[in-house]
A = this chain, B = another copy of it.
Amino acid sequence: MDLGNFFNSKNVAIVGVSRNPNKIGHVIFRNLIDGEFSGNIFVVNPNVQSILGYVSYKNISQIKEKIDLVIIAVPAKQAVKVVNECGRKKIKDLIIISAGFKEVGNNKLENSLQKAIKKYKLRVIGPNCLGVLNTKNKLDTLFLPHYRLKRPKQGGISFVCQSGAVGSTILDLASREEDGFAKFISYGNAIDVDESDLIEYLASDYDTKVICLYVEAIKDAKKFMKVMKQTTKRKPVIVVKGGMTEEGNKATLSHTGSLAGSAEVYLAAFKQTGMIYAQSLEDMFNYARILEGSIRPKNNRIQIITNGGGYGIICTDAVVNNNLRMAEPSKETKRNLKKYFPPIVILNNPMDLTGDATTERYRLSIEACLNDKNIDVLLLVVLYQTPLITTDVVDVITEFKNMHKKPIIVVSTGGEFTQILKESLQNNGVPCFTYPENAVKSIKALVDYYL
């Protein structure tokens, strides 16, 4: 199924744009304008002449230009009529934002929607969804105002999400953490396009480096298995499954109107297809960050470099607990660094540059470890609280990262000042973490995917 129009349409029509700024259609329209969507927007509302300076069309048929994608934001009862109209006009791709179908027990309405889709061979995302966000051309159907929900910057993570709330809030959080997203899709009831179709599309999408999936119930298990097996060979797919417990499973029924299977079955399926199972949204987010930002490690030997002794120990515990290996720096590395460092610096693993570490100490030790064949992954703890760490440490780390020799992951715990430098590093494509345990757990996900 070619889903390109859902992300790359030039001419987009929104049906159901009220003048009331709180109504869904209006918010979507506003967001496309404010977000500087690179295509053309057409507005349909039979009751008014114009909205925010745009001509308002009586219906889809009135628009002379060729429409690539229609966003439907009318009440559920009117949606079927609009869908039929689109079908007659030979517009194939629709996003139905409207809620009030199967998820509230309105199976009759969902069925007549289904009929229209079949009749005209349409491709539909939704209903009961937020639709899509493409950070590249700013095509954005999320009906949540920008001031409440910031859109993340452009990047390599794509997120397929059965729950609009989960997806949108994670996007918003990502905007604060400087994580970059390619595409987001909230697919709701999945009356036509489902999670497998979307992931199949993202597998071939050049901008997508990592795929995240939040799912409560798989629609077509066979199709899912097939698509996942193929996709995970090309790029990592991280999955969080809602309703893994019996009680959670019951709750999904009323949420999406579809039945979830048992936890064991899902876990086995995820494993068999090579997906990365995340136990929490936080883990998913962390795994996505490292898998997007890091190159492939050669092996699982981790070298810790730190300017805080306690952090070195916590990282060591985490490396062991996650079944990774502590690297043993070569004699040559130690001998070389010994020349430059005061005796207080511990040239081992963890390598403790101590509290008076300078940026230069980081430069020297990172360089030596990148050249050391005993080391596969560099875990840097950089605590910016000590005055001798100058802010150009960000540039030093970025330069090494850009050599693409080994994965470099950074842990920095702290407040405002730390956050500024962390964001700067993140913007340069270096995966950064607040907590050492989360960083190591994510390295484990990285190693497991590639090795």
**A residues whose Cβ falls under 8 Å from a Cβ of B:** 22, 27, 104, 144-145, 147-150, 161-166, 168-170, 172-176, 214, 216, 240, 242-248, 251-252, 254-256, 279-282, 307-314, 316-317, 319-321, 326, 343-344, 346, 348, 350, 352, 355, 383-388, 413-419, 434-438
State in angstroms the CA–CA spacing of A348 and B388 once bound together. 56
Closest CB in chain B relative to A3 CB, distance in Å:
22
What are 5 A-B pairs with beta-carbon distances under 8 A? A242-B313, A242-B314, A256-B309, A280-B435, A281-B314
A245–B413 CB distance below 8 A: no
A314 to chain B: which residues have CB within 8 Å?
166, 240, 242, 248, 281
A172–B418 CB distance below 8 A: yes
Q: A104-B344, A242-B310, A308-B166 are in contact. Are A387 and B280 (CB under 8 A)?
A: no
Closest CB in chain B relative to A284 CB, distance in Å:
10
Closest CB in chain B relative to A320 CB, distance in Å:
4
Residue from B247, B307, B343, B437 in contact with A319 in the complex, judged by beta carbons closer than 8 Å: B247
Residue from B169, B248, B307, B317 in contact with A316 in the complex, judged by beta carbons closer than 8 Å: B248
A383–B169 CB distance below 8 A: yes
Closest CB in chain B relative to A437 CB, distance in Å:
4
B254–A346 CB distance below 8 A: yes
State in angstroms the CA–CA spacing of A256 and B313 once bound together. 11
B310–A168 CB distance below 8 A: no
Known contacts A145-B387, A149-B385; can you find 20 more A-B pairs with CB under 8 A? Answer: A104-B344, A144-B386, A164-B308, A165-B307, A169-B311, A169-B383, A169-B413, A172-B418, A173-B434, A175-B416, A176-B414, A176-B419, A216-B310, A244-B317, A245-B320, A245-B321, A247-B320, A248-B320, A252-B313, A280-B435
State in angstroms the CA–CA spacing of A265 and B346 once bound together. 28
Q: A144-B386, A310-B242, A317-B248 are in contact. Are A414 and B172 (CB under 8 A)?
A: yes
A176–B415 CB distance below 8 A: yes
A149–B326 CB distance below 8 A: no
Which residue on B lies nearest to A177, using beta carbons?
B415
State in angstroms the CA–CA spacing of A367 and B71 once bound together. 39
State in angstroms the CA–CA spacing of A346 and B255 once bound together. 9
Closest 3 CB pairs of A and B: A163-B310, A165-B308, A166-B310
Q: A149-B414, A321-B245 are in contact. Are A255 and B435 (CB under 8 A)?
A: no
